[in-house]
Structure 1
Amino acid sequence: MAHSRSAGDHHAAGALEAEPPARTKVGKKFYERELTRLQIELVTQQEYIRARGLRVVVVFEGRDAAGKGGAIQRITEGLNPRAARVVALAAPTEREKGQWYFQRYVAHLPAAGEMVLFDRSWYNRAGVERVMGFCTDDEYVEFMRSCPEFERMLVRSGIRVVKYWFSVSDTEQERRFQARLTDPTKRWKFSPMDLEARNRWVAFSRAKDAMLAATDIPEAPWWVVDAEVKKRARLNVMTHLLGQVPYEDLSPNPPPALPPRPPVHDDYVRPPKESQHMVPDVVP
């Protein structure tokens, strides 16, 4: 029998077990166990979203190196990519600069049964564009005025909007920047824009405060994630997301069984490996 899963159902919604206070490290075994359990719940939630034709938008914002990408990766790791899309737009083209500001984001909104995760979103205007001078004062003021109305319109149309701000200290951000420079697999993450943002910490802080004050609306409130410890932040945001879209387990019970395989036709012979371009086996 299907059972309801909501924010009030601590076990089903993925409430964490007892752990040390915030900002402390998370044990490896605990993290891996919780991560697996939460990812299974997210798959269950996704099937409910698909079956019920829901439309969900999840916005991830925060400073550079705050851990947004890592959280998105863990959330989507087990999900069907056809129904859970990650949108990470590059800088706008010249044509897009001449459009209504929200236009290029509207093109990526979910259809029925889909969840879209924005790795940075229309809030670029209130953050990097404002601080770096990529928009005019009038464009910024208009965004702050129209953004709440835009999101209310999305919610009225039936789209669920969930917004996360990943909060990290300047000390921890600096540590992560230094780690990126020494790790060849992460060096691409550090850009000239990151360096400039590093030099404008206070300006970004003021822009963030103004953004949250103007756009934290009842229909689509901001949820602040303490991202000082990456693993803790991932588990917390995954648990919270499960509670933002109540769902039921629609999996068949008992699970379906595979019928016997059909007989193999005797006239088929697999071609020899020597006739194919095989990937060399280099693993000892």
Structure 2
Amino acid sequence: MGDKKKHNKTSAPEGEPLSRKLYEEELKRLHGELVSLQEWTKHTGAKVCVVFEGRDTAGKGGAIKALTERVSPRVFRVVALPPPTEREKSQMYAQRYVPHLPAAGEIVIFDRSWYNRAGVERVMGFCTEEQATKFLETIAGIEKAMIESGIILLKYWLEVSQEEQTKRIESRINDPRKVWKLSPMDLKSYSRWYDYSRARDDIFAASDTPWAPWYVVDSNDKRRARLNIITHILSKVPYEAPKREKIKLPKRQKAGGYVEPEDIRHHVPAVF
């Protein structure tokens, strides 16, 4: 199964921040393995579904970017649904997610998922306790049906400390590159740390099953978290690296009298 068993033995000691150099070296290797996973998925018609959940600022977006930046968006599809429409509000809660589940040859990544019902919606008062309870009573069975249909389902909960979350929220407030990430909802959820903790515990109690367990990721060190997540995904999917044929570039055609025009209009100014 490719090079999945190997890892960088020169990484920084546990507890120390991982250097950018080591991170990028290991990420490059893992990206090669993700391409192998992609080609195996296309060839075999496998269906892979990866769920990312966790507190605000836990690093879900960065992990998803690291996972997908070197693969095809036609195979690795990222799903981040907006708030439900009035019609969707009248449906069974998980129903709006079903059309986005993977078909053959696809890897679908949920940036938050059906667990919004028992997480964000419950904590922020967008659903009733009865609705959240009903969801928790039924979701394990729904996920079992997913798996019985042939989907490989992997669920990750990214966990961040109070101190690190505060640091990241303040960074969003003060850095103009990150201010778009900050919403009034983030500030409200920040104040409800223990409500989210209770909601998380209830989610785990109801849906950490033998067929669809939760995998918790320590994401205080974003670089380590990303490498650990990708490595774990690769270890959980039984892919095989495809055999590659030797590629030889063909010769270019002759100009056949073509002459480049002297002036091409509308150049981008050379500022740098």
Shared fold, TM over 0.5: yes
Amino acid in structure 2 at the alignment position of 1:35: L
Displacement of 1:66: 0.3
Matched, 1:137 2:126: no
Cα distance change of structure 1 residues 201 and 166 upon mapping to structure 2, 3 Å threshold: same
Q: What do residues 220-245 of structure 1 show as CA deviations (whole Å, max 9, x unaligned)?
A: 11100010111110111111111111
Contact 1:14–1:37 (CA under 8 A) maintained in structure 2: no
Which fold has the larger relative contact order, with Cα–Cα distance below 8 Å and residues 6 or more apart in sequence?
1
Q: Give the AA of the match of 2:239.
A: Y
> What SS does the aligned partner of 2:65 have?
helix
SS in 2 for 1:248: coil
Q: Select the residue among 247, 250, 255 that pairs with 1:264.
A: 255
TM-score (norm 2): 0.96
- The structure 1 residue matched to 2:27, chosen from 31, 35, 42, is 35
**Residue 236 (1) aligns with residue 228 (2):** yes
Q: Quick one: distance in 2 between partners of 1:150 and 1:210? A: 17
TM-aligned CA distance change 1:22 to 1:93, over 3 Å: farther
The aligned amino acid for 2:90 is: G
Partners in 2 of 1:27 and 1:231 — Cα distance?
8
How far is the alpha carbon of 1:101 from its aligned partner?
1.0
Deviation at 1:13, TM superposition (A): 4.2
Secondary structure of 2:107 counterpart: strand
The equivalent of 1:26 in structure 2 is 18
Label 1:262 to 1:13 Cα distance change in 2 as closer, same or farther (>3 A).
Answer: farther
CA distance in 1: counterparts of 2:157 and 2:8, whole angstroms: 20
Q: Is the 8 A contact 1:14 1:41 kept in 2?
A: no
Residue 116, structure 1, aligned to residue 108, structure 2: yes
In the other structure, the counterpart of 1:279 is 268
- Name the CA distance, whole Å, in 1 between partners of 2:167 and 2:7: 30
Gaps of 5+ in 2: none
Partner residue of 1:191?
183
How do residues 78-97 of structure 1 correspond to structure 2 at under 5 angstroms?
78-97=70-89
The 1-side partners of 2:163 and 2:98 are apart by: 36
Indicate how the Cα distance of structure 1 residues 171 and 231 shifts in structure 2: closer, same or farther if over 3 A, else same. Answer: same
Return the alpha-carbon distance in structure 1 between the equivalents of residues 88 and 17 of structure 2.
43
1:145 to partner: Cα distance: 1.1
* Equivalent pair of 2:12/2:19 in contact (CA under 8 Å): no
| Partner of residue 103, structure 1 | 95
**Structure 1 length normalisation: TM-score?**
0.92
SS in structure 2 of the partner of residue 102 of structure 1: helix
State the secondary structure of the residue aligned to 2:93.
Answer: coil
Give the whole-Å Cα distance in 2 for the aligned partners of 1:216 and 1:142. Answer: 16
Mark the runs of 5 or more structure 1 residues left unpaired by the alignment. 6-10
The correspondence for 1:205, drawn from 197, 222, 234, is: 197
Amino acid at match of 1:44: S
Are residues 13 and 78 of structure 1, via their aligned partners in 2, closer, same or farther at CA, if it must alter by over 3 Å? Answer: farther
1:218 is aligned, of 210, 219, 225, to 210
Corresponding residue for 1:152? Answer: 144
- Between the aligned partners of 2:83 and 2:44, the Cα distance in structure 1 is 34
Alpha-carbon shift at residue 251 of structure 1 (Å): 3.7
**Count, aligned residues:** 272
